[in-house]
C-alpha cells in the first residue's frame, strides 16, 4: 500500500534504535564522510548494516556521498564496488558524476536520486530514468501539487518527506569545525565530532514573532529550524496517489525516529485503509514536543517554509 522510510547513519544508531515502524532504511550520512563509522564512507561496515536491516524485515537503501570532490572519487568508487557485491535494495545518489560511475560499473540495482539532486521537473526525472533512476526526491521548494505532477508524468517513484527538518544547504567543508576554537578543517585530522551536539543559527528579536527564524547546522549540512509535519494531511497524501514517504532523522536524538515513525505508521495506515482519522491532538502534542523550533508544512502549500496549516 505505502512505504515509510527514514535514515540511519551508522551501526551504533542502527543497533540501538527502534526503527520497527519503517518499511525501509536509508543507510548512511550522505553529508559528511567524517561522521563516525558512517555507512556512506566505510565499506567494511556495509555487510553488517545490511544484515541487521534485512533480519528485521526491512529494505536497505545505501546512501552515497552527495558532494564528492575529485580527491574523493577513488574511495567513493571503492565503496560502490563493495556495495554492488551486496544485495542492497537500491543505491541513492545526489551527484551526476556518481550516477555515471554506477552506470560504468554496470549497476543493476535500482537507483534513487536524493534531495541534493535538485530535481524540479518531470522532464528531468524522465532523463534520469534513462540512466537507471527509479525514484526521485523532488526539491523541497516544490509544492505538493508540483510533487504530484512529477509522480504522474515521469512514471518514476517519488519520495515524499512527511516529517523532520528540511535539508537546505550542503557543503564539502564543515561550518562547525571551521568556526571552532580548534581551527583546522575537514580532512585535516582535527574533527572532534562537534556535529553530534546541537548547533543553531538564529536571527530576530527572540520574542517568538514572525521576525524570528532559526536554522540547524550539522556541520556540512544546514537544515530548517522547524520540523516539517504532514500528519494531519495523511488522507490528502493517500488521495493524491503518492506511495513513498520519508521521515528525516539526521541530527536527531535517539528515539526521535521511533516516536515519529509510530505516529505516521498509524496515520498513513488509516488513510490508505479508508478509515477515519483519530483525533490528531495527542499526535501533534508529541510531535511538537520533539520540535524545538515548532512545526511547519515546508513548501507544500506554496508558503515560504515556516507556516503550519492544519487539516481544514
What is the DSSP track for 47-84? HHHHHHHHHTT-EEEEEPPSS--GGGHHHHHHHHHHHH
Highest mean pLDDT (candidates 186-200, 260-274, 297-311) = 260-274
Residue 194 has pLDDT above 80, yes or no: no
Residue 303 has pLDDT above 80, yes or no: no
Residue 308 φ/ψ region, left for φ over 0, alpha for ψ in the -120 to 50 degree band, beta for the rest: beta
Task: Check residue 215 and give its pLDDT.
Answer: 84
Strands 157-170 and 90-93: unpaired
Taking Cα atoms as reference points, which of 42, 30, 186 lies closest to residue 116?
30
Tell me the average pLDDT across 204-216: 68
What lies within 8 Å, CB to CB, of 93 at 6+ separation is 64, 99, 102, 111, 112, 113, 114, 117
Strands 244-247 and 59-63: unpaired
Q: pLDDT over 70 for what percent of the chain?
A: 89
Per-residue model confidence as pLDDT tens digits over 270-285: 999 999 988 999 999 9
* C-alpha distances in Å from residue 97, one per residue of 69, 117, 154: 10, 11, 22
Give all strands (DSSP E) within 28-182, no chain letters. Answer: 59-63, 90-93, 111-113, 133-136, 157-170
* C-alpha distances in Å from residue 130, one per residue of 42, 110, 244: 29, 12, 21
CA distance 167 to 170: 8
Task: Check residue 206 and give its pLDDT.
Answer: 63
- Rounded to the nearest integer, the mean pLDDT of the chain is 91
Task: Check residue 302 and give its pLDDT.
Answer: 83
- What grid cell was written down for 227? 520540523
Taking Cα atoms as reference points, which of 58, 46, 45 lies closest to residue 17?
58
Q: How confident is the model at residue 42 (pLDDT cuts 50, 70, 90)?
A: very high
Q: How confident is the model at residue 287 (pLDDT cuts 50, 70, 90)?
A: very high
Per-residue model confidence as pLDDT tens digits over 219-239: 788 899 999 999 999 999 999
- What grid cell was written down for 201? 543559527
199 vs 51, higher pLDDT: 51
CATH architecture of 3-163+225-296: Alpha-Beta Barrel (3.20)
Q: How confident is the model at residue 210 (pLDDT cuts 50, 70, 90)?
A: low
CA distance 6 to 219: 20
Task: Check residue 209 and give its pLDDT.
Answer: 59
Per-residue model confidence as pLDDT tens digits over 108-152: 999 999 999 999 999 999 999 999 999 999 999 999 999 999 999
- The pTM for the full model equals 0.93
Amino acid at each position: 500500500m505505502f512505504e515509510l522510510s527514514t535514515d540511519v547513519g551508522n551501526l551504533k544508531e542502527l543497533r540501538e534504535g527502534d526503527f520497527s515502524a519503517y518499511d525501509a532504511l536509508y543507510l548512511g550520512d550522505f553529508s559528511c564522510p567524517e561522521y563516525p563509522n558512517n555507512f556512506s564512507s566505510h565499506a567494511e561496515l556495509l555487510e553488517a548494516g545490511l544484515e541487521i536491516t534485512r533480519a528485521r524485515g526491512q529494505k536497505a537503501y545505501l546512501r552515497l556521498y552527495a558532494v564528492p570532490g575529485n580527491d574523493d572519487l577513488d574511495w567513493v568508487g571503492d565503496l560502490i564496488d563493495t556495495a554492488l557485491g551486496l544485495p542492497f535494495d537500491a543505491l541513492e545518489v545526489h551527484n551526476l558524476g556518481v550516477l555515471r560511475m554506477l552506470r560504468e560499473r554496470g549497476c543493476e540495482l535500482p537507483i534513487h536520486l536524493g534531495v541534493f539532486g535538485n530535481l524540479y521537473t518531470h522532464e528531468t526525472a524522465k532523463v534520469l530514468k534513462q540512466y537507471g533512476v527509479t525514484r526521485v526526491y523532488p526539491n523541497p521548494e516544490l509544492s505538493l501539487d508540483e510533487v504530484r505532477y512529477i509522480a504522474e508524468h515521469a512514471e518514476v517513484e517519488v519520495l515524499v518527506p512527511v516529517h523532520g527538518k528540511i535539508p537546505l544547504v550542503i557543503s564539502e567543508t564543515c561550518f562547525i569545525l571551521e568556526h571552532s576554537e580548534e581551527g583546522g578543517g575537514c580532512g585535516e585530522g582535527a574533527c572532534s565530532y562537534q556535529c553530534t551536539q546541537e548547533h543553531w543559527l538564529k536571527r530576530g528579536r527572540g520574542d517568538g514573532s514572525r521576525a524570528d527564524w532559526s536554522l540547524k547546522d550539522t556541520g556540512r549540512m544546514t537544515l530548517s529550524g522547524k520540523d516539517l509535519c504532514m500528519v494531519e494531511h495523511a488522507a490528502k497524501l493517500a488521495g493524491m496517489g503518492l506511495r513513498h514517504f520519508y521521515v528525516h532523522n539526521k541530527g536527531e536524538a535517539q528515539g526521535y525516529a521511533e516516536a515519529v515513525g509510530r505516529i505516521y505508521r498509524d496515520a498513513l495506515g488509516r488513510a490508505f485503509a479508508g478509515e477515519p482519522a483519530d483525533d490528531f491532538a495527542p499526535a501533534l502534542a508529541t510531535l511538537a514536543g520533539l520540535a524545538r523550533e515548532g512545526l511547519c508544512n515546508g513548501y507544500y502549500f506554496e508558503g515560504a517554509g515556516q507556516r503550519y496549516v492544519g487539516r481544514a
